[in-house]
Structure 1
């Protein structure tokens, strides 16, 4: 048999499927545990909206198939004491019932209608009046999305009311096209949910964070809102796209249609993301947004023009073999999410461990600063911030001249 590019892609997909498999996890982890809360554990209450079809399997709740109508559920998750777990990791139960001392456990599952969901939001809004909506990515089951988001909320310490939007993913590496069409299926539902949250007079700000293929769904929903309403709601101030599985050309059109009054975008990218590498091959070898190098053209100029901040995680060691989940599994990134990004604050070199050095990648001056820049380039997280480029341009010029003068003096001697 002749080996074609298609067969190679299937072979790669099979390998990635093995690497990302969830073998050993018990089915039905969303069956509430009867155990009382254990000392030292934490509880995260998440409001979950879904376009999935209900499942008849106990503890699964919703399948990967598409539902007739969106459904809402409140789910409380217990997280083990910090001494028993690593930040950035979900400790899945090895068997049921889960052991709350060492594993994530489901405490309660409460189906809701819209009036009850409004009441939940009233009761869970923090003093910041900030809501964070999370949209998961490709190859996620219902329980995957819930436990992952509970982990992000807990580990980041985010001061938010957490809402999860979970769309019909079959949770299979071989269901890429089905999952992609499921995001299209879910655009109206996400748009409607975001509009409803933003129109709530008690809500002050909405942050949207999306991972992988969920980025396509998120930006599409915002684009639709901008077209339908004339602009994205001003309460939706910040959008964080982690490892976005999004065609760069399509993203450019989406941003243009959202318009200049749209939310501020922050991207997490990583050039060693193996999952996005496969997606690129499947999608006609067009760059995926989550794999670009923000310091090279045309991306550098486009990001600067649009005011998009990019955090390059390529040098950061990933917690998974695909390097696709660094945003949630890296303690450094989770800390950034909670301390700065979710609050809509600017991330600086100090936040990523560069001290008072100028971030060469953030400023786009690695080629001019010389040895001083190499230290910053080798940092685990590099920032490309257009505002930083503008604000510190003169400072960089002075530093470049200083380095040049030092070299000239040394040569003269």
Structure 2
């Protein structure tokens, strides 16, 4: 008879698969074929997309999940339906093609570019802030997934930035975890070089990087390589936001040390109920994933504070994401926080975040001491921590994980 713990893990696997598959169900292929249809009160987001993917032979897909030889650059214009016709934080995928711009996201322009032409694009699209936002997506993302999701984030956050997407070869399958992880390694040099070129562009004043899930590994590795190669991370790269980072906590500690003291300011979004990272933790040898730690417990609390890292705990936040892995993009409050403060490089504290009572928690960062955090923990309206979580969290997860191996074997056998 299967144990309750084993059954629970088996159920998580099933729910994970169904959640991911249902999210893609019914989507037509070829959404990146530009449409001539227009609608009133829509918004346009122009995204510069750089990729290490191999070009696709399927019209409207542009690039596949396989690895390409050279970096390819494309400008893509995405139409976002009026706010009155959509849920903030969601991508309204077309039900059929051509898309209906009045209710759905639609592609309105696709312009292949030579990499050297990116400089001209930046000059045309840089706002007065002269700030560039680079987004690096996570595991299980097709090219069009990354394009539409980033367009949604840029639109909903109202970020005053020139949006640049770096998309690496993900096969867009939950069964291709190892392939995707190796694809991030394959793409390190390309991302590093792109970030270096952005930083060397005189018209650019500041670069913020936002990475999700497995893209966090790629981002931190690229910064680590830059620091080793150049002696430090380029000064214009001032802020790095890691959302649900699928990163081994021990490896992250070493990466930070190798990046050095002259590094960007790091902000983490974590959630202890992240089901995707629960599976990743098991696959990766039962080592804590950075995006699932409890920042209020040691040794993380002290380690984060020492490193000057701000951590926003979104565990109490509920969204439509059944895996709890994309809260940073799906919560209207968090998306607004991204645009109003984090992408702008502003300090976040317990007194000025204001995400509402749903996010009860702690506010600890470089602006506060660990001692003061205890008094804030009871009443603070959000969760910004400065460290935490290994022993207590490990004890809970290890009890859960003991039955995982047998259950996975059984599930695969079936």
CA contact (8 A) 1:129 1:203 kept: yes
User: Alpha-carbon deviations, 1:101-133, whole Å to 9, x = none?
Assistant: 000000000000023211111100100000010
The aligned residue for residue 223 of structure 1 is 224
State how far apart, in whole Å, the 1-side matches of 2:318 and 2:12 are: 22
Q: What stretches of structure 2 of length at least 5 have no aligned partner?
A: 388-414
CA contact (8 A) 2:94 2:105 kept: yes
Q: Where does 1:226-375 land on structure 2 (aligned, <5 Å)?
A: 226-349=227-350, 350-353=352-355, 360-362=362-364, 364=370, 369=375, 373-375=377-379
State how far apart, in whole Å, the 1-side matches of 2:107 and 2:373 are: 52
Structure with the bigger RCO (C-alpha within 8 Å, sep 6+) is 2
User: Alpha-carbon deviations, 1:24-78, whole Å to 9, x = none?
Assistant: 000000000021x321000000000000000000000100000011100000000
State how far apart, in whole Å, the 2-side matches of 1:63 and 1:189 are: 17
The aligned residue for residue 141 of structure 2 is 140
State how far apart, in whole Å, the 2-side matches of 1:342 and 1:293 are: 24
The aligned residue for residue 31 of structure 2 is 29
Q: Where does 1:11-410 land on structure 2 (aligned, <5 Å)?
A: 12-21=12-21, 22-35=24-37, 37-349=38-350, 350-353=352-355, 360-362=362-364, 364=370, 369=375, 373-376=377-380, 379=381, 381-384=382-385
Relative to structure 1, is the Cα distance of residues 7 and 110 closer, same or farther in structure 2, using a 3 angstrom cutoff?
farther
What is the CA distance between 1:18 and its match in structure 2? 1.6
Relative to structure 1, is the Cα distance of residues 367 and 267 closer, same or farther in structure 2, using a 3 angstrom cutoff?
closer
Which protein shows a greater Rg?
1
What is the CA distance between 1:385 and its match in structure 2? 5.0
What is the CA distance between 1:373 and its match in structure 2? 4.4
CA contact (8 A) 2:46 2:76 kept: yes
State how far apart, in whole Å, the 2-side matches of 1:68 and 1:174 are: 24
CA contact (8 A) 1:9 1:278 kept: no
CA contact (8 A) 1:226 1:257 kept: yes
What is the CA distance between 1:352 and its match in structure 2? 2.5
State how far apart, in whole Å, the 1-side matches of 2:72 and 2:6 are: 38
Aligned length: 377
CA contact (8 A) 1:211 1:241 kept: yes
User: Alpha-carbon deviations, 1:278-327, whole Å to 9, x = none?
Assistant: 00000000000000011111100110010000000000002210000000
SS at match of 1:319: coil
SS at match of 1:237: strand
Q: What stretches of structure 1 of length at least 5 have no aligned partner?
A: 387-413
RMSD between superposed Cα atoms in Å = 2.3
SS at match of 2:211: strand
SS at match of 1:20: helix
User: Alpha-carbon deviations, 1:332-374, whole Å to 9, x = none?
Assistant: 100100000000001122322469xx964436569954xx843
User: Alpha-carbon deviations, 1:358-406, whole Å to 9, x = none?
Assistant: 964436569954xx84333xx4x311259xxxxxxxxxxxxxxxxxxxx
SS at match of 1:169: coil
State how far apart, in whole Å, the 1-side matches of 2:61 and 2:25 are: 16
What TM-score results when the alignment is normalised by the length of structure 2? 0.87
SS at match of 2:348: coil
Relative to structure 1, is the Cα distance of residues 360 and 105 closer, same or farther in structure 2, using a 3 angstrom cutoff?
closer
SS at match of 1:151: helix
User: Alpha-carbon deviations, 1:147-186, whole Å to 9, x = none?
Assistant: 0000000000000000000000000001000000000000
CA contact (8 A) 1:9 1:281 kept: no
SS at match of 2:353: helix
What is the CA distance between 1:212 and its match in structure 2? 0.1
Relative to structure 1, is the Cα distance of residues 354 and 106 closer, same or farther in structure 2, using a 3 angstrom cutoff?
closer
Relative to structure 1, is the Cα distance of residues 99 and 384 closer, same or farther in structure 2, using a 3 angstrom cutoff?
same
